[in-house]
Amino acid sequence: MTHSPDPITQTVQSNLCTGCGVCAGRFPELIRMVDDVTNGRRPIVAQTEAGLNAANQAINLCAGAGADHASLPAKDETDRDWGPVLKIWEGWAADEEIRHRGSSGGAVTALGLALIEAGEADGVAHVAQRDDDPRLNRSVISKSREDMLRGAGSRYAQASPGERLAEIAATPGRFAFIGKPCDVASVRKAANQDEYLDDKIAVTIGIFCAGAPTLAATEALLDRLSVPKGAALTDLRYRGNGWPGTMQATWRDADGSLQKSDAISYGEGWGQVLQAGRKWRCSICADHTGEFADISVGDPWHNPPKGNTDPGRSLIVARTERGVRIIEAAIANGTLIAEPRDRDLIAKAQPNLLDTRGSVFGRRLAMHLTGMPVPKDTGLNSFDLWKSHLSLKRKAQSVAGSLKRIVRRRLWRAVDITPV
Ligand X SMILES: Cc1cc2nc3c(=O)[nH]c(=O)nc-3n(C[C@H](O)[C@H](O)[C@H](O)COP(=O)(O)OP(=O)(O)OC[C@H]3O[C@@H](n4cnc5c(N)ncnc54)[C@H](O)[C@@H]3O)c2cc1C
How many chain residues bind ligand SF4 (CB under 6 A)? Answer: 24
Smallest distance, ligand X to C-beta of residue 101, A? 7
**What is d(CA 375, CA 66) in angstroms, rounded to the nearest whole number?**
5
Q: Is 242 in the site for ligand SF4 (CB under 6 A)?
A: no
Neighbours of 192 (CB within 10 A): 14
Q: Is 110 in the site for ligand SF4 (CB under 6 A)?
A: no
Contact 83, 291 (CB under 8 A): yes
Residue 362 binds which of ligand SF4, ligand X, none (CB < 5-8 A, kind-dependent): none
Of 43 and 242, which CB lies nearer to ligand SF4 in the complex structure? 43
Residue 156 binds which of ligand SF4, ligand X, none (CB < 5-8 A, kind-dependent): ligand X
Those residues with Cβ within 8 angstroms of residue 368's Cβ, 6 or more apart along the chain or in another chain: 374
Residue 127 binds which of ligand X, ligand SF4, none (CB < 5-8 A, kind-dependent): ligand X
Which residues partner with 34 through β-bridges? 42
Sequence-ordered strand ranges (E) for 101-216: 123-129, 137-142, 175-179, 201-207
Q: Is 367 in the site for ligand SF4 (CB under 6 A)?
A: no
Q: Which of positions 30-69 make contact with ligand SF4 (CB under 6 A)?
A: 43, 61-62, 64
Smallest distance, ligand X to C-beta of residue 205, A? 8
Of 209 and 264, which CB lies nearer to ligand SF4 in the complex structure? 209
Residue 181 binds which of ligand SF4, ligand X, none (CB < 5-8 A, kind-dependent): ligand SF4
Those residues with Cβ within 8 angstroms of residue 254's Cβ, 6 or more apart along the chain or in another chain: none
Q: Is 209 in the site for ligand SF4 (CB under 6 A)?
A: yes
Contact 87, 340 (CB under 8 A): yes
Pairing type for strands 123-129 and 175-179 reads parallel
Under the rule (CB under 6 A), what is the footprint of ligand X? 102-109, 126-127, 151-156, 159, 161, 178-180, 183, 207-210, 212, 240, 288, 297-299, 312, 314
Smallest distance, ligand SF4 to C-beta of residue 328, A? 27
* Residue 98 amino acid letter: I
Contact 274, 156 (CB under 8 A): yes
Contact 102, 109 (CB under 8 A): yes
For residue 123, give the nearest of 63, 169, 190 by alpha carbon: 169
- List the one residue from 6, 15, 20, 99 that touches ligand SF4 (CB under 6 A): 20
3-state secondary structure of 16: coil
* Residue at shortest CB range from ligand SF4: 64
Of 78 and 160, which CB lies nearer to ligand SF4 in the complex structure? 160
Smallest distance, ligand X to C-beta of residue 119, A? 20
3-state secondary structure of 104: coil
Interface positions with ligand SF4 (CB under 6 A): 8, 11, 17-23, 43, 61-62, 64, 180-182, 186, 209, 211-212, 281-282, 285, 288
